[in-house]
Amino acid sequence: MKHVCELLLLLAAVSMLAEQQGTPPSPSSPPASSSQPSPGEPIPPDRRASLPRHLTDAEVQQEVQAKLASEPLLENLQLRAKADPSSIVVMGNVDNEQQHRLALRIAESYRDKRRIIDKIKIAADHLFK
């Protein structure tokens, strides 16, 4: 019984000491540094996040084409994309407006400063002309 009381007393002392000192930083966290900028202060150039790389025309065309081909709602459709420095042309035939909007959204996600040229034909439109 004496040992149990001593153990409880020791645990209480350690607990009080830990509360006084605060929680120590975890070993995986970087140590606090006085050289860190305060809020509103500009971040030095060597600490800025790198800007995303701009895709070339060929890469944009390939990415859009791959995304159009991999989209389940657009499977079995013959959609194509062509990219140049000023535009992305999306062409082909779709069955409905939902597919049309999805194909354009895919192209728009890669647009950067390019404009989207819509040359997609909706099959239902041909029935009424």
Homologous superfamily, domain 57-127: Cation efflux protein, cytoplasmic domain (3.30.70.1350)
Annotated domain spans of the chain: 57-127
Question: What pLDDT score was predicted for residue 54?
Answer: 82
* Residue 33, token pair as written in the block: 């540094």
Q: How far is CA 106 from the centre of its chain?
A: 15
Question: In 3-state terms, what secondary structure has residue 91?
Answer: strand
Instruction: Report the predicted TM-score, pTM, of the whole model to 2 decimal places.
Output: 0.57
Give residue-wise pLDDT tens across range 14-63: 676 666 665 555 555 555 555 555 666 665 555 555 546 688 999 999 99
The amino acid occupying position 95 is D
Biggest CA pair distance of the chain: 98
Give residue-wise pLDDT tens across range 76-126: 999 999 999 999 999 999 999 999 999 999 999 999 899 999 999 998 655
**3-state per-residue secondary structure call for 27-66:** CCCCCCCCCCCCCCCCCCHHHCCCCCCCCCHHHHHHHHHH
Greater pLDDT, 20 or 129: 20
- Whole-angstrom Cα distance, residue 52 to residue 114? 17
